[in-house]
Amino acid sequence: MITIFTVARKEWIDAFRDRRTLYAMLIGAIFGPAMIGFMFSQIASQQKGAQEIKIPVVGRQYAPVLVNWLTQQSGVEVTDGPEDPEAAVRERKVDLVLVIDKKFAEKFRDSRPAPVQVVSDATSQNTRSKVSRLNKLLSNFSSETGAMRLMARGVSPVVVSTLDVEQVEVATAQQRAAMIFNFIPMFLVLALFTGAMPVASDSTAGERERGSLEPLLIIPVPRWHLMMGKWLAATGAAMLSMLMTLSVTLLVLSRLALEELGIRNQIGTVQILMILAAIVPMGLVASALQMFVSCFAKSFKEAQSYLGMLVLLPTLPGIVAVMYPLTNRPWMHPIPVLGQYAMVTEILGGKFPLPLALVGANVVAVVATGVLLMLATRLFSSEKIIFGR
């Protein structure tokens, strides 16, 4: 163990002597949480904008009843519309325009459908919530007017209501929050890979390229001791990067007004410990896999290109989650990366994975780590590791 820790200490000193490694790790830890904060702030801003909507109206003189009704609604401001509504929306001068037809009053008086137009741009992300709010307002006005017309004719409005639909939501606020927080596992696993990458590539392909691997291998120490020390250093860097990402993520979430989005953030000490229990074994696999792949590279740049493609692995569960749900799938837990993604998502939703599933996933991770380290040690024992450069 003294030999292994000595090698690990040497690799840590070599890796973090370069400040660019520290900067890269810090930027990688901040990037994901910063993206989370920006995304949620944008969503909150859009929802707030939908609650306080400004509606430019063209032809308001043709429908004073509709305009007066809109002005009485909470958070609605009616203004005069532009002369060319389509051009104004296309040029992003206004978000939307309500155009009232000249025949509105005539058809409204005759109890016929009165024509109106909602001019908007579907490609504008900021206006979708506002358009949805306006359409809902117009639908409410139509329903209220139709009900009053029926009552004026002595007909109960209940006659036209064929269904009385009641929405029953069984998901808790924490489970709904987990649907939005499902990118957090991806950032955590990605932090493990990006954190281990500099140490894994420099301690293998980097030393092979510089020629410093030859004197290291001459030392009368078993090759697996050297490999274990290098792997331990890479694992430590991976864990440090993951903890930094988790800490910054929790800090960002604590500063966001998630209640305005109907989200309840209940990530406490127990949840954090469970997340670490699920995600830490993946750090062992990530560093061992990168060590093994780096042994095939003849230069540091070549190793970086290999590991750059390998970093795409943590993003696959996020793509799969769009088409196939990853929660409540116990068979996924033993699968590296996919299992960690599924378990952390369940923990964020307030549902802890079964102890047997958690232990099984950790056992698979340890076994996979052992196999990868054994294969990497065999490559270290080969003469090609020196003469193949």
What type of residue is 244? M
SS3 (DSSP) at 28: helix
CA dist 176 and 178 (Å) reads 5
SS3 (DSSP) at 172: coil
Q: Please give the residue that has the higher pLDDT: either 219 or 359.
A: 359
Residue 387 pLDDT level (bands cut at 50, 70, 90): low
Torsions phi, psi for 58 (to 5 deg): -105, 130
DSSP state of 385: H
What type of residue is 10? K
Paired with 78 in beta bridges are: 55
Q: Look at residue 203 and tell me whether its pLDDT is greater than 60.
A: yes
Q: Please give the residue that has the higher pLDDT: either 238 or 177.
A: 238
**Closest to 116 measured CA to CA, from 139, 144, 93:** 139
Q: What is the pLDDT, as a whole number, of residue 264?
A: 64
Q: What is the pLDDT, as a whole number, of residue 268?
A: 78
Q: 144-147 long-range contacts, Cβ below 8 Å, gap at least 24?
A: none
Share of the chain above pLDDT 90, in %: 8
Greatest mean pLDDT among 38-42, 123-127, 132-136 lies in 132-136
Asked whether 235 and 197 are in contact (CB, 8 A), the reply is no
DSSP state of 55: E
Range scoring the smallest mean pLDDT among 49-58, 195-204, 208-217, 352-361: 208-217
Residue with tokens 């840590």: 12
Asked whether 290 and 283 are in contact (CB, 8 A), the reply is no
Q: Look at residue 94 and tell me whether its pLDDT is greater than 70.
A: yes
Please name the residues in contact with 138: beta carbons below 8 A apart, sequence gap of 6 or more. 116, 118
Torsions phi, psi for 265 (to 5 deg): -90, 105
Q: What is the pLDDT, as a whole number, of residue 367?
A: 93
Q: What is the pLDDT, as a whole number, of residue 186?
A: 82
Q: Where are the domains of the chain?
A: 2-42+174-387, 52-168
Q: Please give the residue that has the higher pLDDT: either 200 or 172.
A: 200
Average pLDDT, the chain: 80
Q: What is the pLDDT, as a whole number, of residue 377?
A: 85
Which tokens belong to 195? 């954190």
Share of the chain above pLDDT 70, in %: 84
Q: What is the pLDDT, as a whole number, of residue 261?
A: 59
Give the mean pLDDT of 31-60.
76
Express each pLDDT in 242-263 by its tens digit.
898 888 888 877 777 666 656 6
Could you tell me which CATH class the domain 52-168 is placed in?
A: alpha beta
Please name the residues in contact with 241: beta carbons below 8 A apart, sequence gap of 6 or more. 25, 28, 29, 191, 192, 194, 195, 196
Express each pLDDT in 172-183 by its tens digit.
656 666 666 777
What type of residue is 69? W
Q: What is the pLDDT, as a whole number, of residue 214?
A: 72
CA dist 86 and 91 (Å) reads 9
Torsions phi, psi for 285 (to 5 deg): -70, -45
Greatest mean pLDDT among 19-28, 46-55, 326-335, 350-359 lies in 350-359
